[in-house]
Amino acid sequence: MGEIVGAGLLAHVPTIVLPEETRRELNNGEDSTLVAGLQQLRREVFETLDYDTVVVLDSHWATTVEFVVTAQDRRSGLFTSEELPRGMQRRPYDFPGDPELAHLIASKAADHSTWITAIDDHSLPIFYATTNLWEFLGQGLPEKRWISIGVCQTADGEDAYRLGRALGDAIAASDRKVVLIASGAMSHTFWPLRQLRDHEAAGHEHIFSPGALAADLERIEWFKAGDHQRVLDTMPEFLRFRPEAKFMHYQMMLGALGEERCTATGRQYGEYENSVGTGQAHLWFDRPADGFPSPKTTPLDPDYVRQTGGPDLPAAG
């Protein structure tokens, strides 16, 4: 029986892969603490923890009609970002995938009235929400498998939980020890282009609004206390501050970790920082002594049955 052995809400912000000299130029001579945070996380967790596969819940990969999980035997190449090609250009990546787990995840879709497809096309694009974190946490650990799941741009929070429940069920049905990474920011509003270069430093005064700053810092304290229920209960309030990908990377992760029943406390690596208006932080959740709660059961959705023809509705009585 497989299990989730750790999980993280981690920032993939492009600044982390810039040369140190450039990072300091952007930050009043100081380096980003997010870099040192990832280096410490690698030493303390990724180089010591017993795990087989990393599943990245990639907030930059926006699918449309279904969730998609990568199923290649290996992914390798040179990554240049279409968004920021000056800062992320021809960066090599090379890591094994986990086709068996990917197809198992997809097979659990109907159990949770959702749509998940495993794709093994080697031409499938990759995104820096995956590659930036692999560079820090996976490069040089060739025996570790990495796969990614995109967020679906037509999905809502309930869909994200259903994906996470299917993911958690698949892991439990496997023989894998899995690390989950919710790769993305917290509040996520950029400064307009003509103002942006006045707000490239990491200080809190550069977060786009005082409300966004307060909302992020409040949730970081809830993460540290293991109060995921409060985070989930206040999601409509947080959505006012436009968290990256509607915060679905976190909701997908929590769907696999038992949602409001998850009380895993967070350990912060590095400080909370600004990136041109957006809120960035690394929070790591160790596996509790008795394991993460099992995923919730998704009630059978009649609309899903009508659209797909299955699974069958239970008989009346």
Q: What is the pLDDT of residues 172-222, one digit of tens each?
A: 999 999 999 999 999 999 999 999 999 999 999 999 999 999 999 999 999
- Prior bond to 125 cis, omega within 30? no
Residue 161: alpha-carbon gap to chain centroid: 13
In this predicted structure, the answer to whether residue 242 has a pLDDT above a threshold of 80 is: yes
Mean pLDDT of 240-255: 98
Q: By the 8 A CB rule, do 89 and 131 touch?
A: no
Residue 43: C-alpha distances to residues 20, 85, 96, 146, 166 (Å): 20, 29, 21, 18, 30
What per-residue confidence (pLDDT) applies to 315? 41
| pTM > 0.75 | yes
Q: How far apart are CA 16 and CA 33, in angstroms?
A: 9
Q: How far apart are CA 184 and CA 197, in angstroms?
A: 22
Q: How far apart are the first and last CA of the chain?
A: 34
CB atoms within 10 A of CB 310: 8
Residue the block writes with tokens 């659990």: 108
What per-residue confidence (pLDDT) applies to 147? 98
Vertex 287 angle, CA 281 and 293, to 5°: 105
Largest CA distance in the chain: 70
Q: What is the DSSP letter of 201?
A: S
Instruction: Compute the mean pLDDT over every residue in the chain, rounded to the nearest whole number.
Output: 96
Which tokens belong to 121? Answer: 């096309």
Q: What residues does each domain of the chain span? A: 3-292
Question: 261-317, pLDDT tens digit by residue?
Answer: 999 999 999 999 999 999 999 999 999 999 999 999 999 899 999 999 866 544 433
Question: 28-72, pLDDT tens digit by residue?
Answer: 999 999 999 999 999 999 999 999 999 999 999 999 999 999 999
In this predicted structure, the answer to whether residue 20 has a pLDDT above a threshold of 70 is: yes
Residue the block writes with tokens 């394991």: 291
Q: By the 8 A CB rule, do 273 and 205 touch?
A: no
Q: By the 8 A CB rule, do 177 and 50 touch?
A: yes
Fold annotation for 3-292 = Protocatechuate 4,5-dioxygenase; Chain B (3.40.830)
Q: By the 8 A CB rule, do 304 and 113 touch?
A: yes
